[in-house]
Structure 1
């Protein structure tokens, strides 16, 4: 399938300049294209995954992706999609975050490909050394204030206020495109739909400074959820690509819990499954939604892509153990992932009666209730029901001598951390 046709099938094209010209260029040449990623945290989140994977699609089709880390623009702040001014971060923090993002991008793009290697660039390399006079004379003179005011990213902030710093962001991003066009022969910029104004401003700057220039822009849809809630957010916050911030198990669970109304769209967006495979999963979702075949395919494909095969298998083991209640099969490391957000209590006693522990850990509100819970069969340790009022927490109840999982009723889990 033609690359642009595949992107269209997947719903990945929101806006494009000169579709016919770009299609012709992509079919005739190996094109360099770029997408920018500003370091606004020490990790990218899944909102950044769509443009990253779109770059990967271009590379798989034989083109040369450039992942641009915004070491300079990250010091300024992009007003696009924001209702208020961003907090400015120090140069040291932005440099550190830029390095972390470079590491993450290398997981998805092939920088060692002998035929069409990807490359990393940092816009601080050309913006950081530019003096003010050069910026104003050579770059700023190409931008009319009325032209900039008409852009959505600025218009949306006129009433609430926008600083000159963020107002100038569009010029800096345009300079990125110009620099990559002139130095790397980069002909295409892609980005989220909120970047359309910045992308077209870059095309205008290239046109004004290079008479015979032919460059292109394309935006990708911002990912939405059918229920109206924000994509990539959970009760615990954003879903990060860093395993330290969002564990592989949490990452897997986010995708496995995808709504039936969204799962096929996400399979098209985020996986490299073929049209035939996706159509088969769509049919399975319609005919047997309770089997959640599409969700499993989505969760497995993405967890393996982002975290690797070992982390995927670990996430599956945790999920299966929690579903079956057989907690003893898990390792201490898997316990830490699977029960990261449940109430926890540290037991500092070498031996402790279960009734006492239930009260101390605030699992049961009183000793009388604790006894009733045990006698009624409502208390489980690592998946095994305990009905003995004299039960004492022992080594047999501790996974790797560190953790015990107490369940009260069907769904209330508690993590007991043992010092001894």
Structure 2
């Protein structure tokens, strides 16, 4: 799928592109595939509310006071993703999956990559300026996010049922004068009332004009989508309420009083308030295979405590709510079986990494869990590297100075106390316990069967890492 451009590449005062007539759109073909009783924003938001992900609505009381307006909204919804990294992380799934859930209610999802806004930096939720990313880094990240979002979305929705845009294509040739003229309908009083702006103005470091102007670009993003596609509904994170207000007000002024609305979804947190997937279980858990291995990604969900897994399953699963509740009830009967975690891990791994990756990962997970190291050693090299696709690379020449204690520290998860783990017999090399941290390593003695450059490191029953000697 090619990225479609909404704004003209011309840097002149020419405004937005010609708006298509209702008869030229293909959306009607999509809507007819859904039953009228289950389509539309009202049942979609009702589902989100029951799942506990409807944190804030804009305007307030959206499901009650503005029900008629919701029913009249064109069936499109969008969410934005700034490419500040070359991959999204698990915490982003609450936005991605709940946006894509709209598809099942006859609403076309639009995923907007913020190639332009990433160069500015969103001040929301921050007390200081973001680091400015170089353009070549942003362009690399844009391409990675486009590929990632397309792959994930295509595993859920047919490719002709969603759109992915990049706002860099809208702004790359927009002159400074044209930009300022388009800000004419945005008032300083409204922009200064944004919570993130007020907080920063009151701080010692204040805020740059660059980050202050972020809200203008996000409002223009929404206007572009509203003008070209009649998309007047936005899905955002917990800190996006101010942007929803700015954008909907801008649309109302520019499109003759048109109604626009949106929702803020909560952060995914554990019982202690830590961000799930970002501040827990050994650091960030990325969606990209180049940053988090398939094994670790699957185990991230499998090893969740029930108090975290139940709400996460409810909020992320794309199954109908009655099926989700049935799994939760089944899990209550015997939590030790981890039936819920297993189904959560399976669903998310299949969506994010693909069915084949899931099958290989579950196969190796079971072999390791039941200590079948002969079977593990006999697995093809490409299968091992496919699951442990981020092995720890160590130079064989430098191994002469390496002890098992140092090897344990190199391969451990963030926050793990290796001294205690080793003395308790929880550190294993190719399935064999090693308790002496000062013991020198002989690489030839710890190679994995016929795999002459691989070593399996185990921490307890569930944490494993692959070392590749180079």
- The answer to whether the 8 A contact 2:430-2:456 is kept is yes
Determine if the alignment matches structure 1 residue 107 to structure 2 residue 148. Answer: no
Residue of structure 2 equivalent to 1:210: 255
The one of 315, 327, 351 aligned to 2:373: 327
Q: Are the aligned partners of 1:264 and 1:278 in contact in 2 as well (CA < 8 Å)?
A: no
Per-residue CA shift, 1:41-88, capped at 9, x if unaligned?
111112221111122111222221111111111110001112221111
Aligned counterpart for 1:298 among listed residues 318, 341, 344: 344
Aligned with 1:402 (options 444, 453, 467): 453
Deviation digits for residues 164-187 of structure 1 (CA, Å, limit 9, x no counterpart)? 100110111011111111122111
Q: What is the CA–CA distance in structure 2 between the aligned matches of 1:378 and 1:126, rounded to whole Å?
A: 55
Separation (CA, whole Å) in 1 of partners of 2:352 and 2:122: 26
| Partners of 2:250 and 2:325 in 1: CA distance | 42
> Structure 2: how far apart are the matches of 1:335 and 1:111?
24
* Residue number in structure 2 paired with 1:134: 178
Check conservation: 1:395, 1:401, Cα contact below 8 A: no
Q: Which residue of 1 aligns with 2:130?
A: 86
Counterpart CA distance in 1 for 2:164 and 2:428 is 52
- The corresponding residue for 2:354 is 308
Q: Does the CA contact (< 8 Å) of 1:328 and 1:382 recur in 2?
A: no
How big is the shift at 1:385? 8.4
- Deviation, 1:194, is 0.6
Q: 1:11 aligns with which of 47, 52, 75?
A: 52
Query: Residue 157 of structure 1 aligns with which residue?
Result: 200
**Aligned with 1:205: secondary structure?**
helix
- Equivalent-residue separation in structure 1 for 2:224 and 2:462 (angstroms): 56
Give the SS at the match of 2:122: coil
Is this contact kept in 2: 1:249–1:314, CA < 8 A?
Answer: no
Cα distance, 1:385–1:268 mapped onto 2, change above 3 Å: closer
Q: Deviation per CA, 1:70-117, whole angstroms, max 9, x where unpaired? A: 111111000111222111112222122111111111123359978972
- Looking at structure 2, the residues matched to 313 and 112 of structure 1 have their Cα atoms a distance apart, in angstroms, of 18
Task: Choose from 244, 257, 271 the match for 1:199.
Answer: 244
How far the C-alpha of 1:13 sits from its partner, in A, is 1.2
Specify every segment of 5 or more residues in structure 1 that has no aligned partner in the other structure, as ranges. 350-356, 366-376
How much has 1:346 moved relative to structure 2?
5.8
User: What SS is found at the alignment partner of 1:67?
Assistant: strand
Q: Does the Cα contact within 8 Å between 1:65 and 1:119 map onto a contact in 2?
A: yes
Listed as ranges, the matches of 1:298-377 within 5 Å are: 298-330=344-376, 331=379, 332-333=381-382, 335-336=384-385, 337-338=387-388, 361-363=402-404
With over 3 angstroms needed to count, the CA separation of the structure-2 counterparts of 1:94 and 1:378, relative to structure 1, is closer
Given that residues 78 and 231 in structure 2 are in contact (C-alpha distance below 8 angstroms), is that contact kept between their aligned partners in structure 1? Answer: yes
- Report Cα offsets for 1:185-210 as digits up to 9, x if no partner: 11111111211101110001111222
Alignment partner of 1:172 is 2:213:
no
Worse-superposed segment, 41-50 or 129-138: 129-138
Give 5+ residue unaligned stretches, structure 2.
1-37, 407-424, 435-441
For residue 142 of structure 1, report the CA deviation from its aligned partner: 2.5
Q: TM-score, normalised by structure 2?
A: 0.74
Aligned CA RMSD, in angstroms, stands at 3.6
- Contact 1:232–1:239 under 8 Å retained in 2: yes
Tell me by how many angstroms 1:211 deviates: 2.2
**Aligned with 2:452: secondary structure?**
coil
Alpha-carbon distance in 1 for matches of 2:145, 2:462: 38
Residue 126 (structure 1) shift? 2.3
Structure 1 residue 145: Cα displacement = 2.5
Equivalent-residue separation in structure 2 for 1:116 and 1:212 (angstroms): 31
Length-normalised TM-score, structure 1? 0.82
When structure 1 is superposed on structure 2, of 161-170 and 269-278 the one drifting more is 269-278
The residue aligned with 1:352 is none
Number of aligned residue pairs: 394
